């Protein structure tokens, strides 16, 4: 089935947004995710429904069909493998790779992606800590919590981020924060929930909002 880039992007957006028990995503949520109008979303959902890639109910939203789930998961797999390649093999930083991977994910070559996966050593997570689906569409999951939930005196290893937009990642770069770094919470501001962290002997101040978008694994 030949799909346009736009159709593939819609399927991936629905996959990313689906969180309810039945996986239904509202039209407005899709519009916000793709920065487009609700009317445009409705038109596209009708097309995807006609192709049996989604189940669409007016005023309720859309959920992926089995085939739609397969296509969207494949796109996500390609996107995240390309991000690993760009960072690991080309030396790009984690804030540079998302938009390039958005283009590369549409390459239609299963053979290329399997070669890429083999070349990279079958990575389980991308440079932002997001799980990479394997060839069968299965993910490796791990326990992770927002940095903002740690208490004073508790430490955590950064293993992911909730946001992968460039300004946010550049902000973390400026703070010296990246995947694998261990931080210890020194104090928490009661008013705005800002954190004073200790990392590799240096103190780092972080807003509560930023801390909420950093994922950590508690360490002793």
Tens digits of residue pLDDT in 106-165: 999 999 999 999 999 999 999 999 999 999 999 998 999 999 999 999 999 999 999 889
d(CA 9, CA 48): 11
pLDDT tens per residue across span 94-123: 999 999 999 999 999 999 999 999 999 999
- Locate 178 and state its tokens: 């990246």
Domains and CATH numbers, the chain: 5-64 (1.10.10.10), 74-141 (1.10.10.10), 145-219 (2.30.30.90)
**What pTM does this model have?**
0.90
């Amino acid at each position: 089935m030949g799909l346009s880039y736009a159709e593939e992007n819609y399927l991936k957006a629905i996959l990313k947004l689906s969180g309810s028990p039945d996986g239904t995503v509202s039209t407005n949520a899709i519009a916000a995710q793709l920065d487009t109008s609700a009317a445009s979303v409705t038109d596209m959902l009708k097309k995807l429904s006609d192709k049996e890639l989604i189940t669409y109910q007016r005023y309720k939203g859309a959920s992926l069909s089995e085939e739609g789930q397969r296509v969207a998961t494949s796109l996500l797999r390609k996107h995240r493998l390309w991000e690993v390649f760009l960072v690991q093999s080309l030396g790009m930083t984690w804030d540079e790779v998302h938009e390039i991977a958005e283009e590369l994910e549409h390459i239609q070559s299963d053979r290329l992606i399997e070669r890429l996966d083999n070349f990279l050593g079958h990575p389980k997570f991308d440079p932002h800590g997001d799980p990479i689906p394997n060839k069968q569409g299965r993910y490796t999951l791990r326990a992770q919590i927002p940095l903002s939930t740690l208490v004073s005196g508790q430490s955590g290893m950064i293993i992911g981020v909730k946001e992968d937009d460039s300004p946010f990642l550049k902000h973390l770069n400026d703070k010296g924060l990246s995947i694998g770094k261990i931080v210890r919470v020194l104090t928490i501001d009661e008013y705005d929930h800002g954190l004073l962290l200790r990392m590799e002997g240096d103190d780092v101040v972080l807003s509560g909002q930023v801390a909420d978008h950093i994922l950590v694994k508690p360490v002793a």
